[in-house]
Amino acid sequence: MSCNTIKLHVDHTYNAPPSVIYDAWLNPQVAKRFLFATEQGHVVRAEINPRVGGRFLIVDRRLTGDACHSGIFLELRRPRHIAFSFSAEEHDHNADRVDIKIEPLGEGSRLTLAHEMCAEWASFEEKTRQGWKNVMLGLERVLEQTNRLAS
C-alpha cells in the first residue's frame, strides 16, 4: 500500500469452532449468503479461489447498480488466519489489506478483522466499519440457519 493508512478493527463472537468460521469465508456457496450481501441486493456472482495468490470476486446487485468486491489472498492459515487485498470499484487503484484472525473461545470462536485503508478514505471509515459488522452478523445468521438444518 503506497499511502498513509488508517486501520479499523471489528470483532464478533460465534457459537462455532474456528474451522467452521474459516471455511465459510472461503466457500463461494456459503460466502455469497453473507459476504458483502445487503438486504436490498442479491449476490449474483461469487468466485473464490482459496489459495495464496488466488482471487475472489463478489458482486451484489443493488438498486443503485452492481457493487463489486474483489481481492487476492495473501495468507491462508487454516483455521486461524486469512489475509487478503481488498478493492471495491470506487477505489480500485490502491487495494486495502484485510486481516482476519479466528481464535477459539470456549465452545465457539472470536473473529477479529483489521482493515487497513488509505487515509484519503478516512471519511468512509465508519461506513466501512458498519459494512464489516453487517458481514459478521450475516455470517452469524448463516451459521444459525445451517445449525437448525443440521438438527
Q: Return the CATH number at 136.
A: 3.30.530.20
DSSP conformational letter for 3? S
Ranges of the chain whose pLDDT falls below 70: 1-2, 89-94, 151
pLDDT of residue 95: 79
Structural domain span for residue 60: 5-150
pLDDT of residue 89: 66
Q: How many folded domains does the chain comprise?
A: 1
pLDDT of residue 1: 63
Q: Where are any strands of DSSP class E within the chain? A: 5-14, 42-48, 55-62, 65-77, 81-88, 96-105, 108-118
Residues 14-30 have pLDDT tens digits of 999 999 999 999 999 99
